[in-house]
Structure 1
Amino acid sequence: METLAIVLLGFFAAGYFALAGADIGTGMVAPHLGRDERERRLVLASFAPFFLGNEVWLIATAGLLVGCFPDLEGELLSGQFAVVVPLLAGWITRDTGLWLRGRGGGRGWRAVCDAAVVCGSWVVALAWGWLLAALSTGRPGELATGPVAVLTATAVAALFAVHGLGFAAMRLTGAPYERARRLVGRTGPGKSFALTALLMGALPLFAGSGLELGSSAADGATLALLVPALLVVTPLLVAAQAWTWRTFRHRVTRPSYL
């Protein structure tokens, strides 16, 4: 059961980074892709159908961590508090901007919401990079510091942005598409997105490879209750994600209510 719990934790974490990394990265580069009101709405509409479904993977990861690895969860929250708080604040700020942008107000209101999406996306990406830097040391209870932590956070955030560009190039049309395509380069949107998706999914697996997950696992009775339930839910989550991507597989040609 411990092995299955570890595999599921890695699967959910990798799925979150590969999927949610696309909408976070697109939000990071939104000011470059969308130069006017219509283009900005087009950029937001490119990932709006996906971001809530993508965040379910993070919720599943957190739930599994709390239920199956309570000691590690406690060590992470206490040791990485200075990173977790900005991460949650950026997440809430970003989602609030997306939810409220089309709910009323004038040009100034939309500008504030756009800034919330962009700034929140950058904060989330940098916070994840900083957290992964700490996990990669094998000491989750200690905050990562120094030049290596800064470089790791910056590199991870850059990968988020490149991942978002590949996704945007597959979803957008018109001038925003041309801007994304030029930055993606000769690799092409599909190949670029596939490559960065693999790299994004590998990030949490590499960072967590040095953690002693077995020793922090819950007792056998708890795992025997939670792991089978997760095995039942996982195919449903994958199926829902596949349905979402199939339903919204076409390029965005006009702005949505955002």
Structure 2
Amino acid sequence: MEIFVLAFFALGYLVLAGADIGVGMLLPYLGRTPGERRETIAAIAPFFLGNEVWLVVTAGVLAGLFPALEAELLHENYPLVVVLLLAWVVRDMGLWLRGRVPGRVWQAAWDGAIVAGSWGLALCWGALLSVVALGIQGPLLVLPALALTALFGTHGLAFAALRLRGVLRERAALLSGGAGELRTFALTAATLATVGALTGVRLEPVAGTSGALLVPVSLVMIPLLVAAQAWVWWTFRHRVTGPSYL
């Protein structure tokens, strides 16, 4: 049961947060003026914080239920994890700070932070999943990491096509065939989930001693989290019509 709880939250993070990471990666392509970039960011604004909750819960489940696996992953991939966390902080700083002070230079600097942080997240997740799933080390690690980064980008394009309108939607629908963005999003989501599941198969988790407490709590929290996520998606199901608070 413990491994299913971990898999649920980890795969949920990859599918949900993979979309806003992909949008951030392709921000210069989707938004070619300050106004367009702000409208593009509005596509992910209601979701990105909620998506990050899935990663926080995943880390908590990993530490509480699989402490030996957590120690192994952190010890063997310490540099990747550090860079991943730095990219996460830089991306979120960009999202929160870009609209706090008027001026093109200020906004352009934080837009760059969003792009750099998003690429850093995608590359680090791609490298980390590749190391665990394929056991590749050294320069050859770049190839599967880039392939997974491209998957994040494709996932973000499909999500942006679902959320944006007009010329922004046309740009985002480059790989979706016009009105096929929902089909493309479902396909990229399934592919990310499959990659995550295949990575998990290569792990050898040994449950710790906290399962008697954490598993029941997790089973109670899962329906609440899913309901909250569904409510957010339903509330913001309409296409973006203008800039957001970011």
Could you tell me the TM-score, scaled by structure 2's length? 0.97
Q: In structure 1, what is the equivalent of residue 208 of structure 2?
A: 218
Q: How many residue pairs are counted as aligned between the two chains? A: 246
Q: In structure 2, what is the equivalent of residue 89 of structure 1?
A: 86
Deviations 1:142-169 (A, max 9, x none): x83231x211100110000000000000
* Equivalent in 40, 45, 58 of residue 48 of structure 1: 45
Q: In structure 2, what is the equivalent of residue 243 of structure 1?
A: 231
- In 2, distance between residues paired with 1:45 and 1:105? 17
Deviations 1:12-40 (A, max 9, x none): 11100010000000111111010111100
Q: In structure 1, what is the equivalent of residue 148 of structure 2?
A: 156
Q: In structure 2, what is the equivalent of residue 75 of structure 1?
A: 72
Q: In structure 2, what is the equivalent of residue 17 of structure 1?
A: 14
* Equivalent in 220, 241, 245 of residue 253 of structure 1: 241
Query: For structure 1, which runs of at least 5 residues remain unmatched after alignment?
Result: none
Q: Quick check: 1:179 aligned with 2:171?
A: yes
Deviates more, 1:178-187 or 1:237-246: 178-187
Identity of aligned residues (%): 55
- List structure 1 runs of 4+ shifted beyond 6 angstroms: none
CA contact (8 A) 1:49 1:248 kept: yes
CA contact (8 A) 2:170 2:178 kept: no
Deviations 1:170-226 (A, max 9, x none): 10012111111233336710000010011111222111201111xx2103xx21111
Deviations 1:53-80 (A, max 9, x none): 0011101111000000000101111110
Query: For structure 2, which runs of at least 5 residues remain unmatched after alignment?
Result: none
Q: Which amino acid aligns with 1:108?
A: V
- In 1, distance between residues paired with 2:117 and 2:196? 21
Q: Which amino acid aligns with 1:126?
A: L
Q: Quick check: 1:145 aligned with 2:138?
A: yes
Could you tell me the TM-score, scaled by structure 1's length? 0.92
Q: Which amino acid aligns with 2:154?
A: V
